[in-house]
Structure 1
Amino acid sequence: MKIKITLGVAAALMATTALADTKRVTIASWGGSYQEAQSKALFEPAAANTGIEVRQETYGGMSDVRLQVRTGQVTFDIVSSGSGSAARAAAEGLLEKLDYDIIDVSRFPPEYYTDYCVGGDVFSTVFAWNTDTYGEDGPQSWADFWDVEKFPGSRAYRGKVAGALEPALMADGVAPEDVYDVLSSEEGIERALNKIRELRPHIDVFWSSGAQHAQLMRDGEVDMTTGWNGRFDNAAKDGANVMHSFNQGLLDYDCFAIPKGAPNKDAAMAFLAEISKAEYQDDLPTYISYGPTNMAAFETGVIDAETAAMLPSSPENAALQLPISLEWYSEWEPIASEMYQEMLTE
């Protein structure tokens, strides 16, 4: 009997050790052409080079992480997130602190990572136009986007507050460097909302996803829209008659975070260290025109000058844009979002 018990315990210990030695991570992202690009440039090569098994899922954002953490049933090891969403999730205690002794961010600009989220790509919220309607000389500022006499036609605009208020204030004459100061009051938020109300008779669609605003341009359903640069570039590659400008764009980044209580936290940290390297990030623009957060990626020779000119994080394009303020979103987004949704239901 003692022998059987000893063997049983030994077998259990061996099984536990084998499980602990298995390196795997579950990564949740947003699907579509974006996750396909992440998979080809980052996830699949890093899995092959590290031996870490990768399982990919799509998810609905930090609300899914909140549910997992609060119920104690965390299945995600890494999530792809917008920077603002990650900042709010970190403030709620939903994320693990990242170890930058493991993840090398020495070539990352400081605005592209936080204690809880490391940048994976840089994107821009821009205005785009139908070249069938306006040719190549479309709008070149948010004031132009609002100018329905100079640029008559239908518009689409974001149905959520993120990236919706800043363009309205710039269209109303606020200098980019003053936008967040003005927005740091309910009066300033109302000023932005009033500017959107002014344009609303010409807004046919309030879009809710990158796939949607790209499809609007593919189908020619609107003449002009806001949206994300990489989605428009991919639509253009598919034959859509669309162009966009980085002028007065909103410079933002997507990042990777580890949910609090992730089952494979150590493997997740190692995997983030791997995909943060320049030799992975320089491949991402091959699949979608979002820029690297690791500036060394511009030095590997993979990103040529023509490609760099399409990337929001190239120094020339970044200089034209307003960086998103995570501090403002952390403090003001709940109030601004409620006011924005009320405006949409008027």
Structure 2
Amino acid sequence: MKRTSFLTLGAALLATSALAMDKTVTIASWGGSYQEAQSKALFEPAAANTGIEVKQETYGGMSDVRLQVSSGQVTLDIVASGSGSAARAAAEGLLEKLDYSVIDVSTFYDGLYTDYCVGGDVFSTVFAYNTETYGEDGPKTWADFFDTEKFPGTRAYRGKVAGALEPALMADGVPPEQVYEVLGSEEGIERAINKIRELKPSISVFWTSGAQHAQLMKDGEVDMSTGWNGRFDNAAKDGAQLSYGYDGALLDYDCFAVPKGAPNKDVAMEFLNEISKPEYQDDLPKWITYGPTNRAAYETGEITAEVAASLPSSPENAAKQLPVSLEWYAEWETIAAEMYQEMLTE
């Protein structure tokens, strides 16, 4: 009897161990210095602490998720996404509703998570300029960026609609607080696109990835580029001669979502809870200058006051910026993207 019980207990322990070892998630992000930062600060430590095996991939955004969901061949469990793209994907029914009985967001900043996407970092869309071309007293506003007479030189601009239209309207004289009101019609969208159309002869590259716009500035291939603050900071560390500011920047956040039909949905919820903890998020600024979405990350002592002051979500920097409207992206992104693509292919 004792031998039978011992064997039964041993079998149970082996089964439990096997179940733990079988926990796997496949995460897709955008590669480059951004995914490297995520991997070092979030994915690898969380995998080590939970025993969950993490498989990383790079992907092209929600269009890849749409293809997987529509074909019924979903292989991704977690995807990194811009907040606006996630809002639109959720409206299309491409994402699983997140389980906030598992994922603890009690110390998150308000507005940095939704039913379908939990915030991973706060970033800003800014423009950087080459300090060798313009000196330290270079362009300061979006109007300057679009002013090719005052600031001649080549530009790089976003090749996707996200983060492309708002700067154009501000350059065209629309106050930041009225930008999304103006964009709430096809006429307003066309106004923004026309402003970019005017600049198009000076746009050498319409970039499609953070790694690309950072490399363009690092190599000196363009004199100015829109892009993401953390990518520019990493390029500067690698020797790029550039500068940028937060005046009129777009304050946004990246988040993590679970595609509809993800093969390891429950494990994904568990893993998202882990990487949302402050002891992981407080390490992210060591690798890329994006702010944490969990405000408790500022209380662990890992983020110094000096570093905090340089992050997009610091109170001083945030006050200068236009927060991205997820409501606008959910309602208008598809229409705006079609109109923007027409301009790109003219």
TM-score (norm 1): 0.92
Spell out the pairing of 1:117-266 with structure 2 (5 A cutoff).
117-266=117-266
SS across alignment from 1:42: helix
Q: Post-superposition shift, 1:151?
A: 1.7
Q: Post-superposition shift, 1:19?
A: 5.0
> Are 1:272 and 2:305 counterparts?
no
Measure, in 1, the Cα distance between the counterparts of 2:161 and 2:53: 37
What's the CA shift string for 1:212-249, capped at 9, x where partnerless?
11111111111111111111000000001011111111
Q: Which amino acid in 1 is paired with 2:241?
A: N
Q: Which amino acid in 2 is paired with 1:164?
A: A
> Are 1:57 and 2:57 counterparts?
yes
Measure, in 1, the Cα distance between the counterparts of 2:95 and 2:113: 14
> Are 1:77 and 2:85 counterparts?
no
Question: Are the structure 2 counterparts of residues 19 and 303 from structure 1 closer, same or farther at C-alpha, using a change threshold of 3 Å?
Answer: closer
Measure, in 1, the Cα distance between the counterparts of 2:63 and 2:73: 14
Q: Which amino acid in 2 is paired with 1:73?
A: Q
Partner of 2:343: 343
Measure, in 2, the Cα distance between the counterparts of 1:307 and 1:262: 37
Which moved further from structure 2: 236-245 or 49-58? 49-58
Measure, in 2, the Cα distance between the counterparts of 1:136 and 1:262: 49
Measure, in 2, the Cα distance between the counterparts of 1:335 and 1:92: 14
SS across alignment from 1:150: coil
**Paired residues of 2:157 and 2:206 also in contact (CA < 8 A):** yes
**Paired residues of 2:21 and 2:52 also in contact (CA < 8 A):** no
Partner of 1:86: 86
Partner of 1:35: 35
Q: How many residues align?
A: 334
Measure, in 2, the Cα distance between the counterparts of 1:251 and 1:211: 19
**Paired residues of 2:20 and 2:52 also in contact (CA < 8 A):** no
Q: Post-superposition shift, 1:330?
A: 1.1
Measure, in 2, the Cα distance between the counterparts of 1:242 and 1:259: 37
Q: Which amino acid in 2 is paired with 1:47?
A: A
Q: Which amino acid in 2 is paired with 1:176?
A: P
SS across alignment from 1:110: coil
Measure, in 1, the Cα distance between the counterparts of 2:243 and 2:21: 49
Measure, in 2, the Cα distance between the counterparts of 1:285 and 1:16: 37
Q: Which amino acid in 1 is paired with 2:51?
A: G
Q: Post-superposition shift, 1:73?
A: 2.2
Measure, in 2, the Cα distance between the counterparts of 1:101 and 1:339: 40
Partner of 2:116: 116
Q: Post-superposition shift, 1:110?
A: 2.5
Q: Post-superposition shift, 1:18?
A: 4.3
> Are 1:333 and 2:333 counterparts?
yes
SS across alignment from 1:148: coil
**Paired residues of 2:32 and 2:210 also in contact (CA < 8 A):** no
What's the CA shift string for 1:274-328, capped at 9, x where partnerless?
1001110010011111111111111211111221122111221111111111111
Measure, in 2, the Cα distance between the counterparts of 1:20 and 1:36: 26
Q: Post-superposition shift, 1:198?
A: 2.1
SS across alignment from 2:89: helix
Identity of aligned residues (%): 81
SS across alignment from 2:214: helix
**Paired residues of 2:113 and 2:119 also in contact (CA < 8 A):** yes
Partner of 1:288: 288
Partner of 1:7: none
Which moved further from structure 2: 271-280 or 256-265? 256-265
Q: CA RMSD in A?
A: 1.8
Partner of 1:312: 312
What's the CA shift string for 1:7-33, capped at 9, x where partnerless?
xxxx9xx98994587222111111111
Q: Which amino acid in 1 is paired with 2:324?
A: I
TM-score (norm 2): 0.92
Measure, in 2, the Cα distance between the counterparts of 1:221 and 1:150: 20
- Structure 2: 5+ residue stretches without partners: 1-10
**Paired residues of 2:88 and 2:333 also in contact (CA < 8 A):** no
Measure, in 1, the Cα distance between the counterparts of 2:261 and 2:21: 18
Which moved further from structure 2: 89-98 or 38-47? 89-98
Measure, in 2, the Cα distance between the counterparts of 1:63 and 1:159: 15
